[in-house]
C-alpha cells in the first residue's frame, strides 16, 4: 500500500461472496449472457460465483498484469487477450480503481457488459454495473491478500 491510500477496507471471503451474489442479482435483469470473461486474477473468484448464480458455463479470461503485491506497476502487461468484440459477454473484475486496466480491457471488448464488485470514483464511469463504491483513497484488502494472525490485545500493547 502506498502513500496515496489513507484507509484500508478489509473484505472477508463471506463478504466477497455476498457482494458477488448481489452483483449476480443486479445482472439478472439484463439480456442473456452467452459467457463470462474474467479479468485475471482479481475477477476470477467473483466470476466463478456469478457464473454459478446465473447458470453460465462458458468462462474465458483476459489476463493482464497491472499491479504487483506492493504497488502499481508502470505499463500494464497483456498476457492473454480475448478473441472478439465481447458482444453478448459479461466481463467481470473484482474492482475498478483508477480505470487504467478497465480502459485497456474496454478497448479490447467494447461490446461486453462490464461489471465489477467494487468501484472507485476514478474508474466508476468505465463499468456498466457495480455493487459497492469505495473512496479513491481506500486500499481494499481482498481475502486472498490477507491471512489471520495473532494480534496483541490493546492493553498488552501499552506495556
Q: Which three cell numbers stand for residue 51?
A: 457464473
Q: What's the average pLDDT block by block, 10 residues per block, for the chain (159 residues)?
A: 79 97 93 93 96 96 75 72 94 95 95 98 96 95 88 75
Q: Which domains does the chain have, with CATH numbers?
A: 7-157 (3.40.50.2020)
C-alpha cell at 123: 474508474
The residue annotated as part of the active site, out of 68, 71, 97, 145, is 97
Is 128 known to be catalytic?
no
- CB burial readout 96-113, b (16+ within 10 A) else e: bbbbbbbebbbebbeebb
Check: CB of residue 90 under 8 Å from CB of residue 116: no
The catalytic position among 83, 94, 128, 137 is: 94
Does the annotation count 94 as an active-site position? yes
Distance (Å, whole) CA 58 – CA 12: 27
- For the chain, give the percent of residues with pLDDT over 90: 72
Question: Is 97 known to be catalytic?
Answer: yes
Residue from 31, 55, 75, 93 carrying the catalytic annotation: 93
* Residue 27: predicted pLDDT: 96
Q: How far apart are CA 80 and CA 32, in angstroms?
A: 25
pTM for the predicted model, two decimal places:
0.86
pLDDT of amino acid 81 = 87
Amino acid at each position: 500500500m502506498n502513500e496515496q491510500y489513507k484507509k484500508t477496507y478489509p473484505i472477508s471471503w463471506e463478504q466477497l461472496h455476498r457482494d458477488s451474489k448481489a452483483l449476480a442479482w443486479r445482472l439478472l435483469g439484463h439480456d442473456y449472457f452467452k459467457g463470462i470473461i474474467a479479468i485475471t486474477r482479481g475477477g476470477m473468484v467473483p466470476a466463478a460465483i456469478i457464473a454459478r448464480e446465473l447458470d453460465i458455463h462458458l468462462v474465458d479470461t483476459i489476463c493482464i498484469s497491472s499491479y504487483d503485491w506492493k504497488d502499481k506497476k508502470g505499463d500494464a502487461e497483456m498476457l492473454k487477450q480475448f478473441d472478439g468484440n465481447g458482444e453478448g459477454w459479461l466481463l467481470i473484475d473484482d474492482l475498478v480503481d483508477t480505470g487504467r486496466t478497465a480502459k485497456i480491457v474496454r478497448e479490447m471488448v467494447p461490446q461486453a457488459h462490464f461489471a465489477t464488485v467494487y468501484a472507485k470514483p476514478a474508474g466508476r464511469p468505465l463499468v456498466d454495473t457495480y455493487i459497492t463504491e469505495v473512496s479513491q483513497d481506500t486500499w481494499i484488502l481482498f481475502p486472498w491478500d490477507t491471512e489471520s494472525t495473532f494480534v496483541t490485545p490493546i492493553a498488552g500493547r501499552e506495556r
